[in-house]
Amino acid sequence: MNTKTTYVSWIIRILISFLFILSAVAKLYPSPYFAITTFEAKQLVPLGFDQCYGAYFSRLLISFEFALGILILLPFYLKRIVIPATILLLSVFCVHLSLSVFGIMEGAANCGCFGELIPMTPTEALIKNILSIGLLILLFKLVKQQKNKHFIYLIVVYLISLGALFYVAPNKSCESLDDKFEKTNSIYSQYIKDIDDGEKLLCFFAPGCDHCMATARQLDSLSLLNPVFPEVYIVFMNEEPEKIPSFFEFAGREFRYEIMDVAQFWKVLGFENDTPGIYYLINGNKINSYQGINEYKFQPYLLLKDIENVKN
């Protein structure tokens, strides 16, 4: 291989390595567990994957991407295994993306190739993959066949990648909250049907409260970003109920709700508490609560932290 050919082949290898490693790492942004779970819910579950086993598949796939990004730079089985495997993986992605691009299968606006770090449409991702396959075919022609005796290195690189991923983002999708939180009768169950069933965010809002509207909007945004988000149930104070439609319009969606008399509303919320009031419940067990607009106010990052903690 002459100098020019070597130079071109290394440029291609570094570029493909960068794309694959970036793709794998981006799927862990901004929080590994929630990022991967979002990828599963938006990309794998629509394909028919079970949420539990889809979680294993996603980690196998992301680890494979990362391992290929490393192996493309190493001299082991480059022409015999690594380049063909990379082309095959991109080809599978191209088929999936084509189904979305041509409307055969409904797909998300963001293909998930680079997670939430770099949103990319299916069309953009398809073009990227086709160009990458073209570069890999050229690379296949440029590199020479080598006699390799170190197949174990390929396995070691993949196993290290897989182990590292399970370490930073353990699979919690197969765990049942029922095993960790025994069902109990909360004080809210006598007023609200099914509030003790599973994961719930019980919200106490006033329809005309600006802070309540802002909080509902934050909950809508969080539920869109996190497919494992608890069910939101709103109790409205029976004050200016005519504002409820505009409340939900501002929030971005309509959640399940009921309207309570003002006196009962404060009794259930707690006279010492304030709106917006939010209780995070699992099978009737209170995990945390957020009250008012001061010290104990609702903050999205604290709720995400609570949700992640109960999975550990």
Note the pLDDT of residue 178.
Answer: 61
CATH class entry, domain 178-311:
alpha beta
pLDDT band at 55 (very low <50, low <70, confident <90, very high): confident
Report the pLDDT value the prediction gives residue 177, as an integer from 0 to 100. 60
200-222 pLDDT per residue, tens: 999 999 999 999 999 999 999 88
The model's pLDDT over 79-107, given as tens digits with 9 standing for 90+, comes to 999 999 999 999 999 998 998 888 777 66
Q: What is the pLDDT of residues 229-244, one digit of tens each?
A: 899 999 999 999 999 9
Among the ranges given (56-60, 137-141, 236-240, 300-304), the one the predictor scored with the smallest mean pLDDT: 300-304
- Burial of 198 by CB count in 10 Å (0-12 exposed, 13-18 middle, 19+ buried)? middle
For residue 180, what pLDDT is reported? 73
| pLDDT over 90 at 30, yes or no | no
Q: Which amino acid is at 57?
A: F
- Region 276-296 average pLDDT: 93
Beta bridge partners of residue 260, listed in sequence order: 237
Lowest mean pLDDT among 58-67, 209-218, 223-232: 223-232
Whether the upstream peptide bond of residue 276 has omega within 30° of 0, thus cis, is yes
Return d(Cα 55, Cα 117) in angstroms, integer.
20
- What pTM did the predictor assign? 0.63
In the structure encoding, which two tokens stand for residue 152, read together? 């174990």
Contact 158, 67 (CB under 8 A): yes
What's phi and psi for 257, nearest 5 deg?
A: -155, 165
In the chain, domain spans: 3-168, 178-311
What is the rounded CA–CA span in Å between residue 217 and residue 41?
Answer: 21
The answer to whether residue 127 scores a pLDDT higher than 80 is: yes
Q: Tokens 């765990």 belong to which residue?
A: 175
Mean pLDDT for 54-76 is 93
Q: Is the pLDDT of residue 119 over 80?
A: yes
Is 34 in contact with 168 (CB distance < 8 Å)? no
Average pLDDT value over all residues in the chain: 88
Q: What is the mean pLDDT of residues 237-265?
A: 94
